Structure 1
């Protein structure tokens, strides 16, 4: 990265530091252990991933797991609770019944074909 003008390695170092992913999942502790155990499937990305448990599920886990994976105690998660998907589905719940493809008519049509 030796070029005249601006030093590109500063930008690359900054990008390298910024591209980290926080994963909040109901069983993030088990997911993290599985990725560590497999190891080779995500070699490039696994060091950039920070795992946590959704805040409402954290208290149902064992005490050492709560201390390790609670997003309130981990750097990088801020005040995120990990329930964004649930809030999204709750906000569009009126659209969901129109998308169902199961029911009496669906079963009758499936038997005809």
Structure 2
């Protein structure tokens, strides 16, 4: 059983270790993985810069401007991943050969996407 740190895990978000994963599954973002990693490393650098600004007692409005830039960058990554999920996972579920499980697979993937959108909108 994993321990969730409420200070670092947003409410209603399952820790990655609690989310079931298909073995050796190729995800929709796999073909763009390097691009996502570059963007996330850039965002990581921006966050370190914000921490440095706070440490150096920079003007609050300048810090807030940088926080807004990080939020916008994370939003762009989130939308890209969501688009990849819909284009790969949801569409992939529709190609399930067994009609009996196809509807369940589609419903499950759509529910995942809907829940993710809900978390992004909070």
Which TM-score band (shorter chain)? Answer: under 0.3
Structure having the higher helix fraction is 2
Report which structure shows greater RCO (CA 8 Å, sep ≥6). 2
Q: TM-score, normalising length from structure 2? A: 0.21
Q: Greater strand percent: which structure?
A: 1
